Amino acid sequence: MCGIVGQLNFNEPVNERVFRQMNNTLAHRGPDGEGYYFSTDKKIALGHRRLALIDLSENGAQPMPNEDKTIWLICNGEIYNYIELRDELKKQGHRFKSGSDSEVIVHGYEQWGIEVVQKLKGMFAFSLLDERKQKIFLVRDRFGIKPLYYYHDQNRFLFGSEIKAIINNPAVVRELDISSMCDYLVYRYIPNPKSIWKRISKLPPAHYLEVNFNGIMKLNEYWRLQAENRKINEKELIEQVNEMLSNSVHTHLRSDVPVGTFLSGGYDSSALVFYQNKLNHNTITFSAGFDNWEESEHRYAEMVAGEFKTKHFSTVIGQDSFDVMEKLMYYYDEPLGDISIIPTFLISKFAACQVKTVMSGEGADEIFCGYSWHTPPKKDFVTQFFLDSLNTSFYDYSQEQYASVMAMGRFTFQGLADLLDEDLGRFIPEYPDWFYKKNYNENLHGVKKFQYADLKAFMGELILTKVDRASMANSLEVRVPFLDHELVEFIFQLHPGSYFRRKKRKFPLYENIKNHLPSKILNRPKQGFVGPDTFYMNYKWYEDVIRNGKLLKEKFIREEKFNEMLEQKDHWRLWKLAVLEFWLRNWN
């Protein structure tokens, strides 16, 4: 796992000193080394910060060229099927200089062109420079596990793993995009392709950007999740999920350094430990809990760790953890209002003292219907009996319902108009829920509508961003075995009635682990990594943070509306404002 940065100038040479500074802003993503490539005319530069996990030798260093040095790669990510791809490419006559997983991209590009991306299983954000074709490709994985941003004007094209690398270049003008700030208040994140800054864009998941040396760009979608409604019996479903998960965990364990696991004591992380145990892996687990909370998940994690005899480490988070907020907003680059950003950062910091990479359970709720909003509220007895008999996968899930369940301090158009200073009202999007609309597929069947929106919006933009920045701030790689794209495709090819059960959340996963976990774990209600609500109800803290801060002083928000939120103890909206306040202090 690494950090990457690149620059293409259309007229003058790249300033090497400035470019090296840009690369070094990503040192936390790759503390094990740095590398550079500068073209003969100095108009192209590639930079890489390395977190060495596979082939720890210098042979695995980047930028990585092909044999005649006409193709150069910089990659942030892991290619989990690299052994199989390397064997296939060797049969085609390609010769490898390293044991690195990234090298298969270079030779794969020589063999198949940019269609190599179709062959890759993993998480990745990479750039390929093709000197002969005079093109640069930027590529991002199917789900957006790894980030990639870019900037362009009439003189240059810049890109990087994080925004801080781009804006470290003094030629980049920082201009706040107020419409993106409105998006943040609606969604808790800024949806792709936008960013908090004008002229800086996110490369969307499952896309690649083709840029020629004159600056002409073309955006291409290389993968789209297709849905079918094929019905299979329970036995076949359970066996298929078992085989695919076992294979995914197996390939995600490929590493030349120890691989740990985040363990919460819920279905998802417990399942990862179960499959590692089946593979005879010496599992190392990490959990975090909260002070004075009976339901603190570290208690449940310790049960699972004891069951499988893992080498377990746990820590407890207190109210003083809010002290990291300012530091967090440096690493996040953009305001991100997920309520678990603090514990995710702290468990990453804790685990990074022992290992360089961990597995985590992101993706399981999205593909196996684990969220509360996948199961609608109960109806009257007769209607409910009928719907339960149909397996409840026939509910009509609307886009408005989805926007509502995603709320956690939702702002409507009127809500934004009431909050923002009058001079900023013109920046409010006419339809604030535009990103939900974009990713809500009316043609999908039943609960799949919400699953699809989760993968594209909630998971793709909020959860994966949170995990990447929190972990990489601590030089820790997080691997997500549930997001094997073939497993996701398999579930989406099925009729929801085959895998969805109202009374048994994440049914295919439950059936595979039910005989291997304590009943207290199996019967435990769904619980996010957020801690008790009281953790976020320190209204004096909100007042101290915001009262004399930039949001009010620089007239971003109205003081009377802020006072009203305090009076109403509207902690979810206050949390969003506090995050935005800390971001403004860092970056604006």
pLDDT tens, position by position, 416-461: 999 999 999 999 999 999 999 999 998 998 899 999 999 999 999 9
pLDDT at 422: 93
Average pLDDT over residues 548-553: 95
Percent of the chain whose pLDDT exceeds 70:
95
Q: What is the pLDDT of residue 235?
A: 96
Chain centroid to Cα 248, Å, comes to 18
What's the mean pLDDT in 4-32? 97
pLDDT value of position 483? 98
| pLDDT for residue 478 | 98
Biggest CA–CA distance in the chain, Å, is: 76
- DSSP letters spanning 281-322: ---EEEEEEETT-TT-HHHHHHHHHHHHT-EEEEEEE-GGGG
Peptide bond into 205 cis (omega under 30): no
524 pLDDT higher than 90 = no
What pLDDT, on the 0 to 100 scale, is given for residue 493? 97
Kindly state the average pLDDT of the residues 83-97. 96
β-pairing verdict for 357-359 and 259-262: parallel
pLDDT-based confidence at 530, cuts 50/70/90? low
**Mean pLDDT over the full length of the chain:** 93
Measured over the CA atoms of residue 275, residue 279, residue 280 and residue 284, the dihedral's sign is: negative
In b/e form, how buried is each residue of 368-399, taking b as 16+ CB within 10 angstroms?
bbbbebbbbeeeeeeeeeebeeebbbebebeb
- Per-residue confidence band for 317, with pLDDT thresholds at 50, 70 and 90: confident
The rounded distance, in Å, linking the Cα atoms of 367 and 387 is 21
Is residue 1's pLDDT more than 80? Answer: no
Report the b/e string of 26-62 with b at 16+ CB within 10 A.
bebbbeeebbbbbbeeebbbbbbbbbbbbbeeeebbb
Q: What is the pLDDT of residue 379?
A: 52
Edge to edge, what strands does the sheet with 156-160 contain? Answer: 33-38, 44-50, 2-9, 156-160, 149-152, 200-202
pTM equals 0.94
Q: How far apart are CA 112 and CA 93, in angstroms?
A: 13
Instruction: Give the pLDDT confidence score for residue 372 in this predicted structure.
Output: 85
Q: Is the pLDDT confidence value at 353 over 90?
A: yes
What is the structure's pLDDT at 265?
85
Q: How many Å apart are CA 299 and CA 289, to the nearest integer?
A: 8
The pLDDT, as a whole number, for residue 398 is: 83
The model's pLDDT over 378-396, given as tens digits with 9 standing for 90+, comes to 554 444 444 455 454 555 6
What single DSSP character describes residue 438?
A: H
What is residue 16's DSSP assignment? H
- Under the banding of pLDDT at 50, 70 and 90, the label for residue 186 is very high
Peptide bond between residue 377 and the one before it cis (omega within 30 degrees of 0): no
pLDDT digits (tens, 9 = 90+) for 130-139: 999 999 999 9
The upper half-sphere exposure of residue 440, i.e. CA atoms within 13 Å in the direction of its Cβ, equals: 16
The CA distance from 367 to 451, in Å, is: 7
For residues 479 and 253, give the distance between their C-alpha atoms in angstroms, rounded to a whole number: 9
For the cut 90, the answer to whether the pLDDT of residue 465 exceeds it is yes
Hey, how many other C-beta atoms are within 10 angstroms of the C-beta on 269? Answer: 26
Rounded Cα–Cα distance for residues 295 and 258 (Å): 30
Which among 51, 192, 52, 211 has a CA at the least distance from the CA of 128?
211
For the segment 156-184, the average pLDDT, to the nearest whole number, is: 97
Map out the domains of the chain with their CATH numbers.
2-221 (3.60.20.10), 234-372+446-531 (3.40.50.620)
